[in-house]
Structure 1
């Protein structure tokens, strides 16, 4: 009977998220996120190039441009510099978590669209599947960064795709896929800047 308290004490030390567990080093975690985001950035050029080359005219043309088009419902990466500079570290992590949670939903939509439009393009479908996997890992890292600050992950958006038309035409599906890929690349740039700044503050 006397050994029971000792046994319980040992189990308590081994359980995550309780006193006695090894805490996550926030600075190390920021560095890991920075490195991972750089890896994701290196994939975006191939993603966009492969996506456009498989969509036909006008997407695969050298003069294709949709600079001023934006897909309603996607989180915007561009904000005024002063607003961005004054964000707290917690706000940065939360905004990134919310944004990539929404992107994960949109990339599932793009993957579904391309399975319908381009079922014979395995390289493209593989890349889109990889993005969803990559986003899952990134969201897990961001969740750990929140937990290291004593916060819980935000509740997911009820339905980030509710504004989209389920009867979209093939051209519309191809265009929105491009806009999702392009905005994702812009968000990775913003994330890299934000976490590099946070990392420099913590060092």
Structure 2
């Protein structure tokens, strides 16, 4: 499993790390790049979640464990009503994803610190969390590039989603936080390719008609 994980990480870095592309990307290319990177890591994200739960002990390691409504302050959820999601304008769609992976990458560093304390011998789990952290950072870089390439002015720097005060938690709270993080990472990697499909269609309509199609959303 570690070998497969290392291969995914190496492939991600070799193809998606900034500086590997000699010429500026087109809008189509940056959308494809984000979509491909999300798909590359999506399967691994399920493995990360399952491995994380196995190491946390009851009730996390019990068969069928799931608390879909648990959320973590500062960590955006991928869950969104269909109509609201379908009607996001391109800038909003990219900003939501950017803010999500900005938070996710920071939370993964905290999860790594937590698990180094709680499960220091769990080499496979720690490796998966590190791969997930790097994947999140790679996606964040691509999403920031997309905002520029597609002509959407990124908002000013966001306040960091985590405070040092959030790190001084009991063991159970640490386990819950890591569970929510791994779940949302998986869910965002499921949503992001669909976001890019909608974004691609929206931009093509804009290019062909000279304006964005507003077929379902804002009056």
Same fold, TM-score > 0.5, yes or no? yes
Aligned position for 1:28: 29
Verify the 8 A CA contact 1:98 1:154 in the aligned structure 2. Answer: no
Q: Which digits, 9 at most, give the CA deviation of each residue in 1:11-37, with x for residues without a partner? A: xxxxxxxxxx95531012111211111
SS, match of residue 160 in structure 2? coil
TM-score normalised by length of structure 1: 0.82
**Cα distance between partner residues in 2 of 1:33 and 1:41:** 12
Aligned position for 1:107: 108
Q: Segments of 4+ in structure 1 off by > 6 A?
A: none
Aligned position for 1:146: 147
Q: Against the structure 1 CA distance between its residues 68 and 90, is the aligned structure 2 distance closer, same or farther, given a 3 Å change threshold?
A: closer
Verify the 8 A CA contact 1:27 1:202 in the aligned structure 2. Answer: no
Q: How many residues align?
A: 183
Verify the 8 A CA contact 2:48 2:128 in the aligned structure 1. Answer: yes
Post-superposition shift, 1:71?
A: 1.7
SS, match of residue 73 in structure 1? coil
After TM superposition, list the pairs within 5 Å mapping 1:44-123 onto structure 2.
44-123=45-124
Is 1:189 paired with 2:160?
no
Post-superposition shift, 1:180?
A: 0.9
Q: Which digits, 9 at most, give the CA deviation of each residue in 1:97-150, with x for residues without a partner? A: 111101111111111100111111111111111111111111111122111123
TM-score normalised by length of structure 2: 0.76
Q: Which digits, 9 at most, give the CA deviation of each residue in 1:134-184, with x for residues without a partner? A: 111111111221111234544443231239643311111111100111112
Structure 2: runs of 5 or more not aligned: 1-21, 205-219
SS, match of residue 58 in structure 2? coil
Verify the 8 A CA contact 1:24 1:148 in the aligned structure 2. Answer: yes
Q: Against the structure 1 CA distance between its residues 27 and 196, is the aligned structure 2 distance closer, same or farther, given a 3 Å change threshold?
A: same
Verify the 8 A CA contact 2:45 2:132 in the aligned structure 1. Answer: no
**Is the radius of gyration larger for structure 1 or structure 2?**
1
**Cα distance between partner residues in 2 of 1:91 and 1:27:** 18
Aligned position for 1:9: none
Once the two structures are overlaid, the 10-residue window that deviates more, 150-159 or 77-86, is 150-159
